[in-house]
Structure 1
Amino acid sequence: MQLFYLPKLSKNDKIAEFDKEESKHLFKVLRKDVGDKLNITNGLNYFFEASINSISKSHCKVDIEKVIKDTPLSYSLHIAISPLKSMERFEWFLEKSSEIGISEVTPIVCDRTEKKYINDKRLRKVLISAMKQSLKSHLPKLNPIISLKEFIKYDFKDDLFIAHCDKFKKEPLLNSINARSSNLILIGPEGDFSQKEIETISSLGFKNVSLGDSRFRTETAGIIACHTVSIVNM
């Protein structure tokens, strides 16, 4: 099965049209023709079965034949994570977390963050590609990059966690997550959060948690956190 993405498609639509870039891909690369069937998602927990009505290298219109409401995640997971010096590794985190199941990602700039900017457009494409390849109907939300100091000013309603390697008293994340709950987990940069950051965040009600006995790369820590929450909700 091959999955296509149309973000503006709603459950009440009877017809839809792909943009010029995707139309060209369908026509020139995939050699699709009138009458061919397509599986589509809007990234909002809906699948659509459609057939091609008309197609050329510049347009592709489809008739929506069936709408399927997919079962959303039974939990909410928001990971706020520092960008990495190697954006390839950060993209790997986005790809794999999308495959496992994540609701929202916020890149945060911490005291020890080396890379303080991201290419939002490129990273969104990574998330879309991962959603399509893993045949999921939910596209995780990618928020703009923000400083940690500004981020923690928000009034979060989630269960709050900070994962780090410092010698604070910590509980295993696996024992701290409740099934079918809403969670926000902070993951620091290479070099971890500074002690001042940990103290400030802990004072705001974030629970100090451990991801295991080893010291992990930032992107690995993000994946472990994501997978741990997924396991609890199986």
Structure 2
Amino acid sequence: MHLFYQPGLDGPNPPEYLSEDDSRHAIKTLRLGIGELIAVTDGQGNRYAAVITKADARRCAFRITETQTTAPRPFSIRICVAPTKNLDRIEWFVEKAVEIGIERISFFFGQHSERRVLKLERIEKIAVSAMKQSLQSFLPILDEAIPFGDLLKTISEEQRFIAHLPANEPPVHLAKAATVNGKYTVLIGPEGDFSEKEIQQAIEANFKMVTLGPNRLRTETAALTACQLLNFINA
């Protein structure tokens, strides 16, 4: 069954039409018609079985026939990452992280960041597409990019890690530092790495330094590796 995204379905005035993009996809691309069954999610854990009542490529109407609610995972993953100079790379990370499983992605500008502007509109579309592709009912939170110091003030997760090797002690691998069923935040720095000031700020905010392996990774690869490792230890 094809999965579509329509927010607000659990509200007081739920929409009766798919978005214009999903309407076009359903009618023009998939050639669905009146009476055909579809699935719709609101991105908040609710999935609805529905039937098409009007096959309009601009406003495809549907009627909900059944509702299923998915419980949140017993753990949560938040990756905080500095946007890369080449935006395609951060978009790739978002797509793959959503497919693998992630609750929140936060962007920040560090002292060594090469990119200083990030617009979320396209990234949000990529996240929605990845959610539908992987047949999930939760859309991760996507946070606007803010300065690193301001980002640290938003952290509430108990298990906090920064992907940076300590100078005078053996590195601890993230897979060994994290414990199962936790609420995790992992900081991933820009291409130029964290500054010494930022590292000290993270330590003062109770972040632990961890390694993601013996190889030096690109920003987007490190972010996805951290996401996958935390999913793996909770599998």
| TM band (smaller chain) | over 0.9
Alignment of 1:76-115 (within 5 A): 76-115=76-115
Alpha-carbon shift at residue 62 of structure 1 (Å) = 0.9
- Aligned position for 1:206: 207
- Aligned position for 1:17: 17
- Asked if the contact 1:14/1:65 (under 8 Å) is kept, the reply is no
SS at match of 1:146: strand
- Asked if the contact 2:149/2:201 (under 8 Å) is kept, the reply is no
- The Cα offsets for residues 165-191 of structure 1, whole Å up to 9 and x where unpaired, read as 452533211111111111111000112
Q: Mind listing any 5+ residue stretches in structure 2 that lack a counterpart?
A: none
- Aligned position for 2:74: 74
- Aligned position for 1:53: 53
Moved more, 159-168 or 44-53: 159-168
Alpha-carbon shift at residue 232 of structure 1 (Å) = 1.1
- Asked if the contact 1:15/1:63 (under 8 Å) is kept, the reply is no
Structure 1 pair 43–79 and aligned structure 2 pair: CA distance change class (3 A):
same
Moved more, 11-20 or 81-90: 11-20
- Asked if the contact 1:13/1:64 (under 8 Å) is kept, the reply is no
> C-alpha separation between the residues in 2 aligned to 1:172 and 1:118?
30
- The Cα offsets for residues 32-78 of structure 1, whole Å up to 9 and x where unpaired, read as 11101101111111211111112223321111111111242221111
> TM-score normalized by structure 2?
0.93
Alignment of 1:97-176 (within 5 A): 97-154=97-154, 156-165=156-165, 167=167, 169=169, 170-176=171-177
> TM-score normalized by structure 1?
0.93
> C-alpha separation between the residues in 2 aligned to 1:69 and 1:10?
11
> C-alpha separation between the residues in 2 aligned to 1:51 and 1:123?
29
Runs of 4 or more, structure 1, over 6 Å off, are 11-15
SS at match of 1:17: coil
> C-alpha separation between the residues in 2 aligned to 1:67 and 1:61?
17
- Aligned position for 1:190: 191
Q: Percent sequence identity over matched residues?
A: 34
The number of residues matched between the two structures is 234
SS at match of 1:201: helix
Structure 1 pair 85–183 and aligned structure 2 pair: CA distance change class (3 A):
same
Structure 1 pair 37–13 and aligned structure 2 pair: CA distance change class (3 A):
farther
Structure 1 pair 15–103 and aligned structure 2 pair: CA distance change class (3 A):
closer
- Aligned position for 2:2: 2
Moved more, 40-49 or 53-62: 53-62
- Aligned position for 1:232: 233
